[in-house]
Structure 1
Amino acid sequence: MKRSFAASLAMAMALFALPALAEPVKVVATFTILGDMVRQIGGDEVAVTTLVGPDGDAHVYEPTPADARALGAANLVVVNGLGMEGWIDRLVKASGYKGPVTVTSTGVKPIAGEEEHDEAGHEDHDHGHDHGAFDPHAWQSVANARIYADNILKGLVAAAPDKAANLRANHAAFKAKLDAVESEIKAALKPIPRKDRKIVTSHDAFGYYGKAYGVTFLAPVGMSTESEAAAGDIAKLIRQIKKEKIKAVFVENIADPRLLEQITRETSARIGGRVYSDALSAADGPAATYIDMMRHNLAQFTKALTPAS
């Protein structure tokens, strides 16, 4: 009995002497696309909480008390910037979070957007937000996604320098995936004449994609889903669809399909498959990761744009 007690005591002391397992970095990301990028780069070194979930609309999101608690416990907060999350500064303040904030769009060359203001009628420039001065959907260009990845790596390494080697290895692997998917996009679109690359979507979320890959995107609603389409704008878009015989019309996963259904009733266009702009799908859906989203959208676009043989 004495030997058993002594052995147990020795084992307990040995376990106590072992270095404690390193805790993962607690990261809060504002929406699913950023959350996935953090997971790709962070791997097992991070525990990610995403505020706006799958198929959620970050433009109109209303933070909850649980979100404030998540920020309060975080080591790092990751946001898009460019006015995407008009609510994030208020949430940071309400949560009492004092830690670092990584703005993933830092270094992106932004596309000009609609000039919008917050409820008080002024612009808030904290954490890189301009509330509508720029198109916030910069991740739709894979070249910009590389910038996002670099900014996320920088934020994670600053938060946990002891994990830098693993983080950099994961980052390199993710950048290789980005390179591969961008090559696929360019190769798939190359056979389609540029004049035929015209697509209608629910809201104006694909400006960076269009600029990067030579596709013209038209939308009845502006950069933010908070905007409402004016009757004159809808009529103008319908006339353009008819005149140019545009066939590719897509509803985004975050959008109400009724407006596009009205447009298709008045034109020869047909609504194609669902595409993903501001949010990923659930884990069992076709766009569970950023890479999956870009591949899924590409397949939908090219199917609609390629003439039937």
Structure 2
Amino acid sequence: MITRRLFMAFAAAILAAPAIADDKLPVVASFSIIGDLVKEVGGDRISITTLVGPDGDAHVYQPTPADGRKIAQAKLIFVNGLGFEGWLERLIAAARSKGTIVTLGKGVAARPGEEGTDPHAWQDVANAKIYVAEIRDALISADPQGADAYRANAAAYLAKLDALDAEIVKTLDAIPKDRRRVVSTHDAFGYFSARYGVEFIAPQGVSTEAEASARDIARIIVSVKANKVGAVFLENISDPRLAKRIAAETGARVGGTLYSDALSELKEGGANYIDMMRHNVRELTKALAP
């Protein structure tokens, strides 16, 4: 929450901020996954800052005065929307930003979640393609001279996403349907489940702000036993103790780490969107394949 004291700190940081030195378009992305998509389309014509970095939890992020300075300087601010970055609207107001807010989640067919709209639309590659098209159009509007570059970058990346989507479908179709059940530590994979046919059971809702209750955990344990769930997965933004407890009480194996709301650090294998999705599919395949 942005208090009056923090607001004043934002204001002081903004006044002290140096001007952007180069002629690149200054843009901000709210979190790492959107930041990666923006970099793919923007290429070397943009100067991008990502607020919530690798392995960061955008649900509960606490903004800093430095974030306010970055927001104040940006011409475009790319956000997911759908209730994902609840702190961002206050940050933008505190920074007195004159930049254009580009809400990418508006273009997708939103799914309901246990606690409202599910914001994790990027877990379906088709939605990531919608994001890319919206990023392209916003960059062209802000920087018409770069239109050809933005179109070319977007076209090349969209082709890669088409190939990624086909690869995921082919890989997961090889797993028998009755084995495609897993537990994850929060409900971030609804779009993935709908697109690729893997059933996820989660003890938390769509936001990590709400802790799972004892009743939630008991319900999951009963469901895991009843449905013969093959594996329990950790997430890079979640407390691993929850998944380990469920695995211990059900006999399900603990799978690897899935990347849900954030990219990983470079050495961990999910440092960009395509690698993140491929990593998740590999981990699921290892745990579920006969």
TM-score normalised according to structure 1 size: 0.85
Question: In structure 1, what is the equivalent of residue 206 of structure 2?
Answer: 223
Does residue 179 (structure 1) correspond to residue 162 (structure 2)? The answer is yes
Does residue 60 (structure 1) correspond to residue 43 (structure 2)? The answer is no
2:154, 2:60 → 1: CA distance?
A: 31
Q: How does 1:229-244 map to 2 (within 5 A)?
A: 229-244=212-227
2:279, 2:114 → 1: CA distance?
A: 28
Asked whether the equivalents of residues 245 and 268 of structure 1 are also in contact (C-alpha less than 8 Å), the reply is no
1:193-235 Cα deviation digits (max 9, x unpaired) = 2222111101000000000111110001110001111211211
Question: In structure 2, what is the equivalent of residue 149 of structure 1?
Answer: 132
Which structure would you say has the larger Rg? Answer: 1
1:284, 1:231 → 2: CA distance?
A: 35
Q: How does 1:102-141 map to 2 (within 5 A)?
A: 102-115=102-115, 133-141=116-124
Question: In structure 2, what is the equivalent of residue 77 of structure 1?
Answer: 77
* 1:113 Cα offset (Å): 2.1
2:268, 2:75 → 1: CA distance?
A: 30
1:136-169 Cα deviation digits (max 9, x unpaired) = 0000000000111011111111110110100110
2:232, 2:68 → 1: CA distance?
A: 38
**Which structure dedicates a bigger proportion of its chain to helix?**
2
TM-align CA RMSD: 1.2
Asked whether the equivalents of residues 235 and 258 of structure 2 are also in contact (C-alpha less than 8 Å), the reply is yes
**Which structure dedicates a bigger proportion of its chain to strand?**
2
Among 165, 168, 190, the alignment partner of 2:148 is 165
- Fraction of identical pairs, as percent: 54
Question: In structure 2, what is the equivalent of residue 8 of structure 1?
Answer: none
2:31, 2:80 → 1: CA distance?
A: 9
Letter in 2 for 1:79: V
* 1:29 Cα offset (Å): 0.3
2:126, 2:152 → 1: CA distance?
A: 19
Question: In structure 2, what is the equivalent of residue 35 of structure 1?
Answer: 35
* 1:24 Cα offset (Å): 1.2
1:49, 1:55 → 2: CA distance?
A: 16
Letter in 2 for 1:134: T
Question: In structure 1, what is the equivalent of residue 51 of structure 2?
Answer: 51
Q: Secondary structure at the match of 2:47?
A: strand
Q: Secondary structure at the match of 2:112?
A: coil
Q: Where in structure 2 are there 5+ consecutive unaligned residues?
A: 1-20
1:167, 1:291 → 2: CA distance?
A: 19
1:216, 1:285 → 2: CA distance?
A: 25
Asked whether the equivalents of residues 230 and 252 of structure 2 are also in contact (C-alpha less than 8 Å), the reply is yes
Displaced runs of 4+ in structure 1, greater than 4 A? none
Q: Where in structure 1 are there 5+ consecutive unaligned residues?
A: 1-20, 116-132
Asked whether the equivalents of residues 106 and 151 of structure 1 are also in contact (C-alpha less than 8 Å), the reply is no
1:253, 1:134 → 2: CA distance?
A: 22
Question: In structure 1, what is the equivalent of residue 10 of structure 2?
Answer: none
Q: How does 1:144-293 map to 2 (within 5 A)?
A: 144-293=127-276
Asked whether the equivalents of residues 30 and 78 of structure 1 are also in contact (C-alpha less than 8 Å), the reply is yes
2:160, 2:194 → 1: CA distance?
A: 21
1:23, 1:174 → 2: CA distance?
A: 24
Asked whether the equivalents of residues 68 and 94 of structure 1 are also in contact (C-alpha less than 8 Å), the reply is yes
2:141, 2:265 → 1: CA distance?
A: 30
1:32, 1:210 → 2: CA distance?
A: 22
* 1:271 Cα offset (Å): 1.2
